[in-house]
C-alpha cells in the first residue's frame, strides 16, 4: 500500500499533561540535533536510510510539511515505546529521551492546534451494501434480499467498508438500485382488486428428491425428522405472485434438557417430466413443543425461483421440503444394512436388503403431521406495508392526495425535509406516467422506485455552506450520521421528529438518544458490522483449509469461527463489560460444533452461548479464537507474519510498513531455505539487515501465537514440518514472552493505553466514515482518557464520540 495512505497514529501519552503550554523551550540546533547525530543519523542519515528515513534532512516545519510532522510523530512514539533506538545500539539517556520527545510533542501539538479546522477530510459517502440493505428494510418495512447481485464494497486502507473516499459509483450500481426498488414496490404496492385466497393441501411424497439439491439431503422422505431424513411434498399450480403462507402441523419429540429441533424448509417448483427441483430457502422455525401445534411461514412467491420457460401451468408443481437443522455437533450416523424377510404370493420367503440409519434417542426430532399451502394470504387488503405508504383513507387518483403521498415518502426516504418545488417535480413525473400508462399505482411504483436511486437517497450528503470553515451539521444530517453509526440505517420516527424540531444538537437530548438507540435491537448491527470490519473476520473466507494437513476438517466450522468472534464482541458490548476482555477473558461464545472442535463441553445446538473457559486449556480473549488463527495461516501452517500484522494493525493500530518494491527474496541466498519452518525462515530473515529493520519489531507478535495451528487447535509440533513449537520471543523494548498468555499479560501490562487508543481510533474511523488525520489526534486522546477512566466501556465511548464537535460539525 502506498505510504501516503498511512497515517501514523500511535499512542500519544502526553497531550493532556502539557496542554496550554507554550511551544517548547527546547532548542533544535543546540539540544535536539546533537542527540540525533549521536543516536539516529548513523542509520537514518546520508549513509543509510533504514526504513526509508533520514533525519538530517527532515523538515522541522511541522505546520507546512505534514509528511514530516507525521514522521516526527512516529519517531516520538517509537522512542516512547522503547522500540528505538534498537536494543543493540546505545540507549538514549533518560534526559535525552525527555528532551527529544518533548521537542517533538510540543511542536506537534502547536501545529495541530494551528491547523485545526483548516482542512476537511469528510466527503459525501454512499450507502454501502449493508447500509443499503438495512435502510431498504427499515424504510419499506419489508424484508428481502436487496443486495443480491450488488458488487462487494471496497475496503478502506484502515480496513473499513464505509469510507466515503473509497466507495465509488458505477452505472451497474445505479441500475441495481433502480431494478431492486422496482421489484420491491411491485410486491409492496398492491393492485386494486383483492386476490382470492386459495388453500391447497401439500401431499407428502415418498420419493427421493431429484436434481442438484438432492445433495443437501440425507436419508429418505419421512414424517419423522432426526439427524437424517426429510419431508418432501408437492401441490399443484404454485402461485406466480402474491404473498403465501405455509402452515405446518408438527410437534417435537425431545427429552428434557435437550434443545428444540429447528425446521428448515425450502420452497420452489418442479416441472413434470423433468427431474429438477429448483428451490429457495425459507426462514427457519423452532419447533418448541412436544404438543402438536400449527407453525406458519409466510413469504412472497416472487422471492423464489419460478420457471420462465413456456410450460403449461398444469405441468408446474409447487414443491416443499423440510428437514431438521438442529446441529449438536455430532456426526451423521453411519448407514447400516438390515435384511427383512417377506413372503411372496406363493408363500416363498424372500430376503431383501435395505439400508437404514440408526436413530439417536437423545436427538430432538420433528414429527410433521400435515402441511398446507395458502396462496394470496393477506391479513388485510391492501397489505399493511402498502398502507404505510398510502394511508387507508387516501385516494391516489386525487391529485392533492397523490402529491402528499409522494412528498411524505420522499421526506422519509431522503432523511431530510423536501421543498415543495422538488416534490412537485416528482409529482409531475408521477402524473405523466400515470396518464401515459393509465395506472396510478404503476406510476407510483415507478416514481418511488426512482427516488430510491436518487443521490438524495444513495448518498449521505452533508452540505457545507463554506468550504474552508467548519460548521455545524444540520439536525437532519446529524440524525442521519448518528443512525448510520449506531444502527447502520436511516433515522427512525423519534430521531426525525427531534431533527424536525431542531433539538438534536442539545447535548442532553443527544446523549439520551444515544442511550435509547443502544437499547434498541438494531444496535446489534453496530456490533456486527464494526466487529467484522475491525477484527477483519472476513479473513476466514480468504483461506482454504488444506485437507492434506487437516484431515476431516469440517468446512461448516468456518462461519462458526467467525461467529465466535462476532458474538464475543457483541456479548461484551451488549453487557457493557470492559473491552479489555477482547485481550483476555474467562469465557468465549461457542456452539455445539465449535465446542467439539476445541474439545470442550459446550452448548447442545448451533446457537452460540456464553461458555466459561475456566479449568480448560483454551485461553480467553480474541487471541484464543480460531478465526484469528485461521486468517493468520495459509490453510496448512500458521503464518506468524500475517498474525503479527493483524495484532499490530487491529489491536494496536500500528500497522507495519508494507515491504518496499523489489525486495530481494531471502530464499535465494540460503541453502535449503524451503525446508525450514516458517519460523526458522523468519530467523534468517531477521539476520539480514535490510529485512531486520522491519521484521525485528514485527515477527515477535506472531511468534507468540505459534502454539495454535491453522485451524485454531493447540499443538506441540508444527503442522507441515513436524518440528517442535517454539513460541518464546522478544517483543520490542526487550520484553521476552513465551506463548499467548504471556503476550496477553504483556499487552495488558505495557500496552493497555495503546490498545485503548487503538479502539478509540477504530470506532472513530467507523463513526466518521473516513480515515483519521493528525488533527484528529487531539480528539482521540481526549476520548482515550475518558475511555480509560470509564473502565473501558464502549457505551461511554460511543456517547462521547457522538457528543464531540468532530462528529457534530464538518
Specify the residue, 30 or 308, whose C-beta has the smaller distance to other proteins: 308
Q: Which of residues 469-528 bind other proteins (CB under 8 A)?
A: none
Longest CA–CA separation in the chain, Å: 117
120 binds other proteins (CB under 8 A): yes
662 binds other proteins (CB under 8 A): yes
429 binds other proteins (CB under 8 A): yes
Question: HEC states along 7-30?
Answer: CCCCCCCCCCCCCCCCCCCCCHHH
Which residue in 106, 164, 382, 526 binds other proteins (CB under 8 A)?
164
Chain centre distance of CA 510: 26
Q: In terms of C-beta density within 10 A (0-12 exposed, 13-18 middle, 19 or more buried), how is residue 786 classed?
A: middle
Q: How many CA atoms lie within 13 A of 370 on its CB side?
A: 5
**List of residues 6+ apart from 688 with CB closer than 8 A:** 666, 669
Chain centre distance of CA 343: 62
283 binds other proteins (CB under 8 A): no
What DSSP string runs through 321-368?
EEEE----SPPPPPPEEEEEEEE-TTS-EEEEEEEE----TTS-EEEE
Q: In terms of C-beta density within 10 A (0-12 exposed, 13-18 middle, 19 or more buried), how is residue 19 classed?
A: exposed
454 binds other proteins (CB under 8 A): yes
Q: Which of residues 672-731 bind other proteins (CB under 8 A)?
A: 672-675
The nearest distance, CB 238 to other proteins, in angstroms, is 16
145 binds other proteins (CB under 8 A): no
280 binds other proteins (CB under 8 A): no
Specify the residue, 378 or 553, whose C-beta has the smaller distance to other proteins: 553
Q: Do residues 594 and 588 touch, judged by C-beta distance below 8 A?
A: no
Specify the residue, 168 or 507, whose C-beta has the smaller distance to other proteins: 168
67 binds other proteins (CB under 8 A): no
Q: Which of residues 632-651 bind other proteins (CB under 8 A)?
A: 634-636, 642
Specify the residue, 165 or 714, whose C-beta has the smaller distance to other proteins: 165
Q: Which of residues 178-197 bind other proteins (CB under 8 A)?
A: 178
88 binds other proteins (CB under 8 A): no
Which residue in 70, 131, 377, 446 binds other proteins (CB under 8 A)?
446
Q: Which of residues 194-253 bind other proteins (CB under 8 A)?
A: 212
Q: In terms of C-beta density within 10 A (0-12 exposed, 13-18 middle, 19 or more buried), how is residue 803 classed?
A: middle
β-strand pairing of 285-286 with 262-271? antiparallel
667 binds other proteins (CB under 8 A): yes
Specify the residue, 546 or 806, whose C-beta has the smaller distance to other proteins: 546
Give which of 753, 755, 535 is closest to 628, Cα–Cα: 535
168 binds other proteins (CB under 8 A): yes
Specify the residue, 625 or 784, whose C-beta has the smaller distance to other proteins: 625
Which residue in 458, 473, 594, 731 binds other proteins (CB under 8 A)?
458
124 binds other proteins (CB under 8 A): yes
The nearest distance, CB 115 to other proteins, in angstroms, is 17
115 binds other proteins (CB under 8 A): no
How far, CA to CA in Å, does 348 sit from each of 320, 341, 352? 40, 10, 13
467 binds other proteins (CB under 8 A): yes
553 binds other proteins (CB under 8 A): no
**Residue 737 phi, psi (nearest 5):** -135, 155
Which residue in 543, 585, 759, 797 binds other proteins (CB under 8 A)?
543
128 binds other proteins (CB under 8 A): no
In the structure grid, which three cell numbers stand for residue 685, read together? 530473515
89 binds other proteins (CB under 8 A): no
Calculate the CA dihedral of residues 433, 434, 436, 442 and round it to 10 degrees.
Answer: 80
Find where cell 403462507 sits: 245
**Residue 316 phi, psi (nearest 5):** -95, 130
Number of residues lying near other proteins (CB under 8 A): 74
Segment lying near other proteins (by CB under 8 A), choices 20-28, 170-178, 606-614, 620-628: 170-178
264 binds other proteins (CB under 8 A): no
The nearest distance, CB 563 to other proteins, in angstroms, is 18
Amino acid at each position: 500500500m502506498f505510504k501516503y495512505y498511512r497515517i501514523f497514529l500511535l499512542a500519544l501519552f502526553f497531550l493532556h499533561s502539557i496542554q496550554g503550554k507554550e511551544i517548547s523551550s527546547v532548542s533544535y540546533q543546540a539540544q535536539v540535533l546533537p542527540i540525533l547525530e549521536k543516536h539516529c543519523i548513523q542509520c537514518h542519515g546520508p549513509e543509510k536510510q533504514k526504513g526509508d528515513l533520514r533525519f538530517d534532512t527532515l523538515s522541522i516545519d511541522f505546520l507546512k510539511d505534514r509528511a514530516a510532522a507525521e514522521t516526527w510523530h512516529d519517531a516520538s512514539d517509537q522512542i516512547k515505546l522503547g522500540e528505538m533506538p534498537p536494543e543493540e545500539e546505545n540507549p538514549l539517556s533518560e534526559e535525552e529521551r525527555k528532551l527529544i520527545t518533548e521537542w517533538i510533542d510540543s511542536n506537534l501539538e502547536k501545529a495541530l492546534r494551528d491547523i485545526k479546522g483548516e482542512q476537511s477530510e469528510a466527503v459525501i459517502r454512499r450507502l454501502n451494501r449493508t447500509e443499503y440493505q438495512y435502510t431498504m428494510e427499515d424504510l419499506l418495512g419489508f424484508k428481502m434480499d436487496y443486495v443480491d447481485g450488488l458488487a462487494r464494497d471496497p475496503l478502506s486502507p484502515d480496513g473499513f467498508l464505509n469510507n466515503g473516499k473509497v466507495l465509488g459509483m458505477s452505472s451497474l450500481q445505479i441500475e441495481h438500485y433502480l431494478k431492486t426498488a422496482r421489484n420491491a414496490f411491485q410486491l409492496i404496492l398492491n393492485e386494486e382488486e383483492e386476490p382470492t385466497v386459495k388453500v391447497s393441501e401439500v401431499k407428502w411424497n415418498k420419493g427421493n428428491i431429484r436434481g442438484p439439491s438432492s445433495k443437501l439431503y440425507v436419508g429418505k422422505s419421512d414424517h419423522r425428522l432426526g439427524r437424517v431424513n426429510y419431508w418432501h411434498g408437492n401441490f399443484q399450480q404454485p402461485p406466480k405472485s402474491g404473498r403465501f403462507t405455509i402452515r405446518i402441523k408438527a410437534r417435537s419429540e425431545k427429552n428434557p434438557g435437550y434443545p428444540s429441533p429447528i425446521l428448515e424448509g425450502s420452497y420452489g417448483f418442479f416441472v413434470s417430466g423433468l427431474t429438477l427441483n429448483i428451490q429457495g430457502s425459507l426462514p427457519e422455525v423452532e419447533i418448541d413443543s412436544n404438543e402438536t401445534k400449527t407453525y406458519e411461514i409466510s413469504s412472497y412467491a416472487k422471492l423464489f425461483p419460478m420457471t420462465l420457460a413456456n410450460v403449461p401451468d398444469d405441468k408446474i408443481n409447487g414443491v416443499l421440503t423440510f428437514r431438521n437443522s438442529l446441529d449438536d455437533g455430532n456426526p451423521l450416523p453411519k448407514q447400516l444394512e438390515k435384511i427383512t424377510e417377506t413372503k411372496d404370493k406363493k408363500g416363498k420367503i424372500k430376503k431383501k436388503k435395505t439400508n437404514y440409519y440408526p436413530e439417536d434417542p437423545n436427538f430432538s426430532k420433528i414429527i410433521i403431521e400435515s402441511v398446507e399451502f395458502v396462496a394470496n394470504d393477506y391479513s388485510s387488503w391492501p397489505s399493511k406495508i402498502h398502507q404505510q405508504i398510502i394511508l387507508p383513507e387516501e385516494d391516489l387518483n386525487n391529485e392533492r392526495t397523490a402529491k402528499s403521498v409522494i412528498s411524505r415518502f420522499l421526506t422519509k426516504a431522503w432523511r431530510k425535509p423536501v421543498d415543495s418545488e422538488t416534490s412537485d417535480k416528482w409529482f409531475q413525473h408521477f402524473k405523466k406516467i400515470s396518464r401515459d400508462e393509465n395506472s396510478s399505482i404503476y406510476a407510483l411504483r415507478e416514481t418511488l422506485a426512482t427516488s430510491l436511486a436518487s443521490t438524495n437517497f444513495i448518498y449521505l450528503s452533508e452540505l457545507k455552506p463554506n468550504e474552508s470553515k467548519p460548521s455545524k451539521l444540520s439536525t437532519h444530517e446529524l440524525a442521519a450520521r448518528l443512525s448510520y453509526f449506531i444502527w447502520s440505517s436511516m433515522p427512525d420516527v423519534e430521531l426525525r421528529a427531534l431533527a424536525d424540531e431542531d433539538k438534536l444538537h442539545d447535548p442532553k437530548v443527544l446523549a439520551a438518544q444515544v442511550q435509547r438507540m443502544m437499547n434498541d435491537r438494531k444496535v446489534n448491527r453496530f456490533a456486527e458490522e464494526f466487529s467484522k470490519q475491525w477484527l477483519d473476520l472476513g479473513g476466514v473466507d480468504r483461506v482454504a483449509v488444506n485437507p492434506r494437513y487437516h484431515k476431516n476438517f469440517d468446512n461448516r466450522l468456518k462461519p462458526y469461527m467467525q461467529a465466535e468472534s462476532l458474538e464475543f464482541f457483541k456479548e461484551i458490548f451488549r453487557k457493557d463489560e470492559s473491552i479489555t476482555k477482547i485481550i483476555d477473558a474467562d469465557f468465549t461464545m461457542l456452539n455445539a460444533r465449535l465446542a467439539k472442535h476445541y474439545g470442550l463441553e459446550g452448548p447442545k445446538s448451533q446457537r452460540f452461548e456464553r461458555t466459561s473457559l475456566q479449568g480448560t486449556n483454551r485461553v480467553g480473549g480474541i487471541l484464543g479464537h480460531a478465526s484469528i488463527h485461521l486468517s493468520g495461516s495459509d490453510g496448512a501452517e500458521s503464518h506468524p507474519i500475517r498474525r503479527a500484522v493483524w495484532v499490530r494493525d487491529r489491536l494496536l493500530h500500528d500497522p507495519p510498513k508494507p515491504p518496499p518494491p523489489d525486495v530481494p527474496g531471502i530464499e535465494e541466498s540460503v541453502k535449503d531455505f524451503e525446508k525450514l519452518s516458517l519460523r526458522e525462515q523468519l530467523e534468517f530473515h531477521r539476520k539480514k539487515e535490510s529485512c531486520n529493520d522491519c521484521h525485528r519489531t514485527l515477527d515477535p507478535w506472531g511468534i507468540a501465537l505459534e502454539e495454535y495451528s491453522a485451524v485454531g487447535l493447540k499443538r506441540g509440533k508444527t503442522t507441515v514440518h513436524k518440528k517442535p513449537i517454539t513460541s518464546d520471543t522478544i517483543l520490542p523494548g526487550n520484553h521476552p514472552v513465551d506463548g499467548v498468555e504471556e503476550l496477553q499479560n504483556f499487552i495488558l501490562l505495557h500496552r493497555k493505553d495503546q490498545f485503548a487508543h487503538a479502539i478509540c481510533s477504530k470506532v472513530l474511523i467507523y463513526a466518521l466514515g473516513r480515515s483519521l488525520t493528525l488533527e484528529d489526534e487531539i480528539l482521540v486522546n481526549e476520548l482515550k482518557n475518558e475511555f480509560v477512566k470509564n473502565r473501558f466501556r464502549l457505551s461511554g465511548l460511543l456517547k462521547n464520540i457522538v457528543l464531540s464537535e468532530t462528529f457534530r460539525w464538518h
